[in-house]
Each structure stands twice: as C-alpha cells, then as structure tokens.
Amino acid sequence: MSGSKRIAIGSDHAGYELKQHLVAFLTGLGHTVDDQGTHSTESCDYPPICAGVGRTVRDGKADVGIVLGGSGQGEQLAANKVRGVRAALCNCLYTARMARAHNDANVLSMGARVVGVGLAEEIVTTFLATDFEGGRHARRVSQLTDLENEF
C-alpha cells in the first residue's frame, strides 16, 4: 500500500482535533485527503460520517479510510456497516500492521482519547505502509466477504 494515497477521513467531535492534525500530516506526506467532517468540536453523531468514509472507500473514490472518535469503537462499527468495508480498530502499531497484513483492512479506526498525536501518526504510517500478505489470509478475507453477503 505504499506511495501516495487518496484517503477519506472523518470523525465525531471527540476525534475532531486529531483529525485536523492528521489531515495536515497526511497532506504534508503528499497524500490526497477528503475530509468528510465533522468540522468542529460541537457534539455530533458519528454513524453517518463514518458510513460516508466507508462508502467513499467502497466506491473506489479513496484508497483507504480513517475514522476517529473518543474510543474508535463506534466509528469502527459504523464504517463496518458498509458492504465491502473492513474497518479495524487500531490503537497500537501491532494491530495496525496485522489489520493490513492479515485482514486487508481498508478503513483504520482510532480512539483520540486513547492514542496521542505521535502514536496516531505512527499507527497511520504503519497502516499505510503495510501490504496485504495474501496467501492463507486471502482465503479468510474471502470467507468474511461470503459472510457479509450471506447476512
């Protein structure tokens, strides 16, 4: 997943400040960033924002998505409601690497009240730099897609 990426990003009010930082960080690295909101720290509902990020990825308008909230839990759940999205909650480098390498995750979720700015930058960098390994993991991702289609 190396090289310049098109990245859709969204957050609720709890993730707003980290989102703003990551938009500047990612743009500075040469990525194209589609900021889908929220645009302030005023309380808001995250499901439509995170689903929008997921739709953007699913529809091929972004290579990857990032969703942010206080814990990242609800944001991950909302993004995963979009068919074709594999959103992973990653609040450490190991889970960021495994989400890409083993699960071919296409949306990264993080908790702004869990990770600091420096760690968030490292998690995003790791997520973007890690390629899907394929092999036995491709079979498992295919099984996940089959489950998604079944229900």
Residue 42's contacts (CB-CB under 8 Å, 6 or more residues apart) are 13
Q: Are strands 87-89 and 107-111 parallel, antiparallel or unpaired?
A: parallel
Within a 13 Å sphere around the CA of 135, how many CA atoms are in the beta-carbon half? 6
Q: Distance (Å, rounded) from C-alpha 40 to C-alpha 58?
A: 26
Collapse the DSSP code of 66 into the 3-class scheme (helix H, G, I; strand E, B; otherwise coil) and give the result: strand
Four-residue CA torsion sign, 53, 6, 9, 141: positive
| Choice among 21, 39, 102, 137 that is catalytic | 102
The yes-or-no answer on residue 21 being catalytic is no
As annotated, the active-site residues are 102
